[in-house]
A and B are shown apart, each in its own frame.
Chain A
Amino acid sequence: MSRIFVHGQGAVSPAGWGVPALRASLENERPLPIQSLRRPGWVKPLPVRLVPPPPVRPAFLAHPRLRRASPTTHYTVGAALEAVGHDADLIRSGGLRLGILTCTMTGAISYSRRFYEEVLQNPATASPMIFPETVFNSASSHLASYLGSSAVNYALVGDAATFLQGLAVAAEWLDNGLAEACVVIGAEEPDWTAADALRLFDRRAVHASGAGALYLKTLRPAAAPVELAAVTDSFAPTRAPDRNEAARKMRAQLPAGAPDDLLCASERRNPAWNDWTGKVLTPIEILGEAFAAAAAWQCVAACDAIQQSRCVAANVSITGQSWQAIAARFVNPNYLKTQTRPQP
């Protein structure tokens, strides 16, 4: 099996456009301000954290495929282009086969909601321009078109844990030779239906939107290397009595690690990590709950912490909305210790 290295990260989040904005908000350790979103029929709005407008209008928005695209597509492309960096030109020229994996739970939900509202009013006049944007793979398709990439391209749909499954699929593609580089993106967009649904399960949760991306290759980067050391099995709550058992199985697959490792978790109170004494980062508490995008931000934050020399290894632990438990481990290969790299 090939070794897999992170060659770039991208983030679009309520903290702003770019990894530096994400880093700054996480270092600040204070929850970002809450905005409100109107819910039809209610006076009281729903609490959300929205992506602020970019400081400069991104050039990609002028692309014909992206003008009418959904927010989730814009976030996807923004995060992916930041992660891919200068390789975008190489991909466009046909010099690099790029595999694309988008991961989402709600997809282009604002467009789906808008379209169905139009259907309820009068199906004969519902907009044919909105409907195609509602398919789950519209964001990955637009990204492929923007980059001129005709290689393999999947949209994975599931809870937050799906982003880590996406990393494992990308590793397979790289190992099989289906792609020479892969970008894996987790993206979600703001909509009152998603914020309303989230409130049914956790009244304190704040719905957020945005995207995060990791750019993977088998070649070791010259500077600031981060290696994907492990992705555990994904333990869905099938036949398992509860989510805690799934989380414990997940934890058992990770190596013990070292006391100065970072834990980047989707929730602060996860019984699988009760014995963890190292530093814990929970981006959701600062940025909000954005499902697959939140999982991607966790990974971006973990890789960034290694690159910024704040740790040499980081575990990312996720329990998804379908109670699927999964974890990943990133390491600085220059400081690779035997106990930090799991054996298959």
Chain B
Amino acid sequence: MLFPPPKAPPPRRIVVTGAGVITAFGAGWKINAEGFRSGRTAFRPVTLFDVSRQRCKIAAEIDLPADLPPNQLSRGDLRRLQRASRLLLLAGAEAWKQSGWKPDGPLPLILGTTSGEMCLGQQYLRQTLQTPFSFKGQAERVTHYLVQQQGINLANALGIEGQVITISNACASGANAIGHAWEMVRRGRAERILTGGYDALCHLTFAGFDTLQALSPTPCRPFDAGRDGLTLGEGAAVLALEDLSSAQRRGAEILGEIIGYGATTDTHHLTQPEPEGKAAVAAMQAACASAGVTPEQIDYVNAHGTATPQNDFAETAAIQAWAGQRAATLTVSSTKAGIGHLLGAAGAVEAVVSLMALRGQWLPPQTSLQTPDPLCCFQIVRQPVDAKINTALSNSFGFGGANATLIFRRSP
């Protein structure tokens, strides 16, 4: 029963026992860890759709692997899988394999996305406009365009069953999904959950950010004094969450612990953050309160850092207000400098980056940063560096004022 749920035990410690990720760096934990640790950048001219009439012409596109991992989908199902579903399946299968879980008992999927399989919506509309009496393939496009279908595809591919919840809170979707899943497992509403976010590049979204003049014609430079906009990317990340005692009982490899989550709403404007970042401060404070930590105990902040003038200004103000004197020594970076803004996948991928940093004891640099914005009151990580870090905080802020903060701790 979703309600009333099973009798809640005292809040439990929740760990990550599986993680899968795909970005423009490649598919899988190892290649992504190498990319983030070295501060690579993965931007290139867009090839997926025509951008010749747009201001920005670059993105962090993924070269999709030719083969999908072993799965239980039929040949027909596999043929119907589009880009977003494939990204989700690649990340989900990696997390599933690493977790060592078996498909016994219900396993909820809590996912975040902004666009789902928007490319199919685009194809549907083009066909209805260009050939109004041709219906070939249209029903299939509708079925697979529906946002829930990508989660159902993943569940079928892994042979699992359980409810699928999709949160679409713009660019905070992935972080909200992980935070919500964390709350569910922590409070005994589920024994384990697969959670994360995904988004594929599509023309509608690309053009949308371009019309807002939010895209930079050059690779984005978060927190740079000369920053002029974001660069889009695509990808997916999926985490396997379970409680610590269950993971220890099974002898599972623990990648890290999620210890805090905060979610708030910035009511200032649909697309622009309130300049002082008050709702962002509240999200960070709420996450710290649920984690039982203070800013002094945070070793690294993976910032939302989109590289738009407004976001980075407000986030800088928010970090300063939240961290106080600690801000001067706090290490911060935005990994969007390497893989772009992954929208609904951003919070999930950045959660995995935070886990990688905690596990590997390094900080992800922004090697393309030229002149740090003098307003930045914190230490921006600019070069690859090893570091002793135990706790990392990851911010995700989205259109509509959706703010989410997650806090991670090194493996217990």
- List chain A positions with a Cβ less than 8 A from chain B: 1, 4, 39-42, 65, 100, 105, 107, 112-113, 115-117, 119-120, 122-124, 126-128, 131-138, 140-142, 144-145, 148-159, 162, 164-165, 167-169, 171-172, 175-176, 178, 193, 196-197, 200-201, 228, 230-240, 253, 320-322, 324, 326, 342, 344
Contact = CB atoms under 8 A, between A and B. Distances in A.
A172 B4 contact: no
- Determine which residue in A4, A197, A321 has the highest number of CB atoms from chain B within 10 A of its CB, and name it: A197
Interface residues of B, number: 79
A150 B400 contact: no
Contacts of B295: none
11 contacts: A1-B5, A39-B128, A116-B125, A132-B212, A135-B170, A142-B270, A154-B176, A236-B152, A238-B160, A238-B162, A239-B155
Contacts of A100: 265
Contacts of B4: 1, 171, 230, 342, 344
A231 B264 contact: no
Nearest to B343: A135
Given A144-B267, A156-B165, A157-B116, A171 B3 contact: yes
Interface string B121-152: 11011101100110100110010001111011
A233 B161 CA distance: 11
Interface stretch (B86-94, B181-189, B387-395): B181-189
Contact of A138 (B160, B264, B265, B399): B399
Contacts of A324: 148, 163-164
Contacts, number: 244
A205 B164 CA distance: 26
Given A4-B3, A150-B264, A157-B148, A119 B169 contact: no
B145 to A, nearest CB: 8
The 7 tightest CB contacts between A and B, nearest first, are A41-B132, A141-B400, A131-B208, A168-B2, A136-B168, A234-B163, A238-B155
Interface of B: 1-8, 51, 53-55, 106, 113-114, 116, 121-122, 124-126, 128-129, 132-133, 135, 138-139, 142, 146-149, 151-152, 155-156, 159-170, 176, 180, 183-184, 187, 189, 203-204, 207-213, 263-268, 270-271, 279, 282, 398-402
B271 A232 contact: no
Contact of B126 (A65, A120, A148, A235): A120
A135 B114 contact: yes
A155 B402 CA distance: 10
Contact of B149 (A4, A322, A344): A322
A152 B264 contact: yes
Which of B124, B169, B187 lies at the interface centre, i.e. has the most chain A CB atoms within 10 A of its CB? B169
A200 B138 contact: yes
Interface of A is mostly: mixed
B405 to A, nearest CB: 12
A152 B265 contact: yes
Contacts of B116: 157
A132 B207 CA distance: 12
A159 B265 contact: no
Given A128-B213, A172-B189, A238-B155, A138 B270 contact: yes
B146 A159 contact: yes
B152 A196 contact: no
A196 B145 CA distance: 14
A321 B148 CA distance: 10
A113 to B, nearest CB: 6
Nearest to A125: B211
Nearest to B202: A116
Contact of B147 (A122, A126, A157): A157
Nearest to B146: A322
Interface centre among B6, B176, B282 (most CB of A within 10 A): B176
B83 to A, nearest CB: 17
Given A41-B129, A137-B170, A233-B106, 17 more contacts: A107-B168, A115-B208, A116-B121, A120-B126, A122-B53, A141-B402, A145-B401, A150-B265, A154-B180, A155-B168, A157-B166, A158-B166, A165-B163, A175-B8, A233-B163, A320-B148, A321-B146
A193 B400 contact: no
Nearest to A343: B4
A237 to B, nearest CB: 7
